[in-house]
Amino acid sequence: MDPQLKVKIARKVPVSTHKFNHYFKGFEKIETVRKIFGEKTEEVLNNLKVEFAGFRGYMGVSHIDGHLLVSAVYLKDGDIVDIYLDIIHELVHVKQFMEGKELFDNTFRYTDRPSEIEAYRVTVDEARKLGLSDERICEYLKTEWMSDDDLTRLAKTLNVRCSRS
C-alpha cells in the first residue's frame, strides 16, 4: 500500500478483463470517489470491470459498456501518482457513462469537452488534496495529443497556474 495515497494499486497485471476491486483496492474509501458515486460507491466498484490491454497509452472508458480500459504497460511503468489521478479521472467518466452523458463529443476540442472538464476538475481537486503544486499538476495535465495552447486553456479553465516552457 502506498502510504501517501492510502490505496493499493497492482502494477503487474495480466492482459485480460477483471473486477476493478481485485486490482485497485481502497478506492471505495477515498472521499473523492465516494463523492463521485455517493451511496452506490461499493456497488459500482464491485461491479466495475477493468480490461488490462497490451496497448501503449494510458486509460479510458469503453463507449460500449462503460468498463475501464487500462494499458498494462502504463500500469507497470507509469508514475504511481499519475496512475492514481488517472483512475480518479476515469471513474468520473464511468459515472458520466452511467448517467448517459456523451463522453466523446467531437464537436468540442478535447480540452473543451464538458465531460473532460468535469473529470479534470475532480482530478485537480484530488491532486491538490495530495499536496501537488500547480507545476506538478500541469505536468500531469499535459499529454502528447495536447498543444501548449490546449494546455494553457485547460489550466486556465481549471484555475491551475502553469509556467510557459
Q: Give the pLDDT confidence score for residue 15 in this predicted structure.
A: 63
User: From the CB of residue 32, how many other CB atoms can be counted at a distance below 10 Å?
Assistant: 15
Phi, psi angle pair for 60, to nearest 5°: -165, 180
Helix (H, G, I), strand (E, B) or coil at 27: helix
pLDDT of residue 53: 86
Cα 104 to Cα 119: distance, rounded to the nearest angstrom: 13
What pTM does this model have?
A: 0.89
Return mean pLDDT, the chain. Answer: 92
Instruction: Summarize pLDDT for 22-61 with one digit per residue, the tens.
Output: 999 999 999 999 999 999 999 999 999 999 887 778 999 9
Of 86, 9, 140, 26, nearest to 34 by C-alpha is 26
Asked if residue 123 has pLDDT above 90, the reply is: yes
pLDDT, tens digit, 9 for 90 and up, residues 99-116: 999 988 889 998 999 999
